[in-house]
Amino acid sequence: MTRVKDIEDQVETICKQLKHFQENGGFTEKDVEKLQEQLHTIDEQWVDGAIHEADGSIAPGQAEL
C-alpha cells in the first residue's frame, strides 16, 4: 500500500468517526483529542508539499504547480 493510499484510508476513517459522533449525540473532549492526534499524524507526513514514499519517490501529480 502506498503512503498516499494509507493517508486516504486514515482520512476516510476519521470522516466515519465524525459521522458516528454526529449521529450519536456529539463529541467528548477525549474524542476530539484522539481525532486531533490522528490529523496531526497525517499532517506530519507532508514534506515540501508532497507525501514521499518509503523509497523517496513522489506519486505523480504531487508537488506540481
- What is the span of the domain harbouring residue 20? 3-45
AA identity, residue 35: L
Identify the CA nearest to 62 among candidates 45, 39, 37: 45
Q: What is the pLDDT of residues 16-33, one digit of tens each?
A: 999 999 999 999 999 999
Rg (CA), the chain: 15
Cell of 19: 459521522
Q: Is residue 54 included in any domain, yes or no?
A: no
Cell of 1: 500500500
Q: Please report the sign of the dihedral spanned by the C-alpha atoms of residue 40, residue 46, residue 47, residue 49.
A: negative
Distance CA 41, CA 26 (A): 23
Confidence bin at 62 (pLDDT 50/70/90): confident
pLDDT of residue 63: 63
Count of the separate structural domains present in the chain = 1
